[in-house]
Amino acid sequence: MLRLLLLIALWLPLAATAQVAERVVSLAPNLTELAYAAGLGDKLVGVSAYSDFPPAAQKIEQVANWQGINVERILRLKPDLVLAWRGGNPQRPLDQLASLGVKVVYLDPQSVEQVADALDKLADYSREPENGHAAARQMRQRLQQLKAQHPEHAAVPVFIQFSTQPLFTSSGHTLQSQIVSLCGAENIFADSPAPWPQVSREQVLSRAPKAIIFPGTAQQQAEINHFWQGQLQVPLLAVNADWFNRAGPRILLAAQQLCSEIDALKR
């Protein structure tokens, strides 16, 4: 019995660190940001194209892009953890990696709460998990602060515009729509059954938005104005595309910016 207890005592420390990752590959830009925020940045050995934040990520070898995943190169990097996006990465190479013994963790957060949950999940793979858990707590605290500052009433109807040709927006089942709602605005296509619906100019005009929110720069406002040709003369709110489009820690920076601009519309 004593020998058994000694064996268990020796095994427990190993079990506690069994998940710690020393070589990590990220297959999406937002997953790269999550890895850094969770304390795994110094363990990244491979990333996807457009992994440009933080700046240190730009120096890491790229092993995936819109054309696919370079399984051979990933295997040469000998990762013990691959971070994947089920909605955007092709499944076949991920199954191939898993069949070869590579641990694949899927992260596809659809809300601010789920971004925080992803940080908690990744923190468990770090040698200093408290860093990631602290980042998750800070996100949740900031989310609650924004909710308290923007009670759900007198919402401003807005159109979230992602492109012009074709004209795409988002439904209420997206992270972007949640951010808009959080700031006291109402996504005019929140009721769409498709998460990323293609809509017509006439559909937008019939719902009479009081503002257009678009990911991009102020310089792109001229393009948006030209598209509407005076048919929709409302304020254009440009938000940093990386903040708004990526399901990562910086989504709350987009929220802070939009909340300030939407508050100004209500004055």
Binding-site positions read 50
Query: CA dist 166 to 23, 34, 192, 201, Å?
Result: 41, 31, 17, 10
Q: Could you give the CA distance from residue 211 to residue 42 in angstroms, rounded to a whole number?
A: 42
Query: CA dist 80 to 37, 131, 245, Å?
Result: 19, 21, 28
Mean pLDDT on 13-28: 75
Q: What is the domain partition of the chain in residue ranges?
A: 20-141, 152-266
Computed over every residue of the chain, the mean pLDDT equals 91
- Confidence (pLDDT) at 13: 41
Residue pLDDT, tens place only, 126-147: 999 999 999 999 999 999 999 8
Mean pLDDT on 193-200: 96
Q: Could you give the CA distance from residue 216 to residue 156 in angstroms, rounded to a whole number?
A: 21
- Confidence (pLDDT) at 15: 37
Q: Is the pLDDT of residue 11 over 90?
A: no
Whether domain 20-141 has CATH 3.40.50.2300: the reply is: no
> Is the whole model's pTM more than 0.85, yes or no?
yes
Are 20-141 and 152-266 the same fold in CATH?
A: yes
- Confidence (pLDDT) at 257: 93
- Confidence (pLDDT) at 154: 67
- Residue 68 main-chain phi, psi, to 5 deg: 145, -170
By three-state DSSP, how is residue 187 classified? strand
The CATH number of 152-266 is 3.40.50.1980
Residue pLDDT, tens place only, 30-77: 999 999 999 999 999 999 999 999 999 999 999 999 999 999 999 999
Q: Is the pLDDT of residue 152 over 70?
A: no
- Using a pLDDT cut of 90, give the percent of the chain over it: 80
Binding-site positions for cyanocob(III)alamin read 50
- Confidence (pLDDT) at 87: 83
Residue pLDDT, tens place only, 232-250: 999 999 999 999 999 999 9
142: amino acid identity, one letter: R
